[in-house]
Structure 1
């Protein structure tokens, strides 16, 4: 089987200018900096759009059920972080969807590395996702 999909997947990823690679870095840290960060940067706009839609759906559901509506963008920064943390802790289906979007950008070699430490790598991906979403939505809020 030919590995024709490896080069195109890596070639579309943006370069991270300030990435630091050192000899003392663990394999997981290297994977995070070389693979995960570029994929998350590539997918940033779609990840933010998906999370915005998620927020809108949850707020619409609350309004429909006559619950007190408290818009995400009206929450304090601390409460926004708590909201994002809660989403990733409690909504396993949504978390899995976002993880799948990232994992789907791995080539076979990267997937094999991922498969050796799924739990640890998933935790890294989720932490990176939460930070990107928090920062990205804050920037969107400032632009509007």
Structure 2
């Protein structure tokens, strides 16, 4: 049976000697998970946006980006869904690292996810 790590693309991001453990975990684990789950994140956010604003697709890119920023910061239920989707793809060893500083990792997950969704605003 394939391991969760086998599903992820190796992003070949450089590892620097002065990188913190948090930064290394972000680049070696969180970024590949976000890339793997990208299509699902986009689908979920599109559905969420349309449920909040029925004519969401007719908004211009700037308004969509503002909507993304505001809702990923303020809607805790939405944030928790995205964090759960990400954390659910961790192995037990990775989960131990995540749990050591979940608050900081959650902040990084939402920040990277926000940038990822905004960079693909045309798909929403």
Provide TM-score, normalisation by structure 2: 0.90
How many angstroms apart in 2 are the aligned matches of 1:38 and 1:53? 23
Q: Which residue of the partner structure matches residue 130 of structure 1?
A: 114
Q: Which residue of the partner structure matches residue 89 of structure 1?
A: 73
CA contact (8 A) 2:61 2:121 kept: no
- In structure 1, the gaps of 5 or more residues are 61-68
Change in CA separation of 1:73 and 1:106 when aligned onto 2, cut-off 3 Å: farther
| 1:75 matched to 2:95 | no
Q: Where in structure 2 are the equivalents of 1:1-144 lying within 5 Å?
A: 8-17=3-12, 19-60=13-54, 71=56, 73-77=58-62, 79-138=63-122, 140=123
Q: How many residues align structurally?
A: 124
SS at match of 1:54: helix
SS at match of 1:111: helix
Divergent runs of 4+, >6 A: none
RMSD: 1.8
- In structure 2, the gaps of 5 or more residues are none
Change in CA separation of 1:132 and 1:106 when aligned onto 2, cut-off 3 Å: same
Task: Mark the structure with the bigger radius of gyration.
Answer: 1
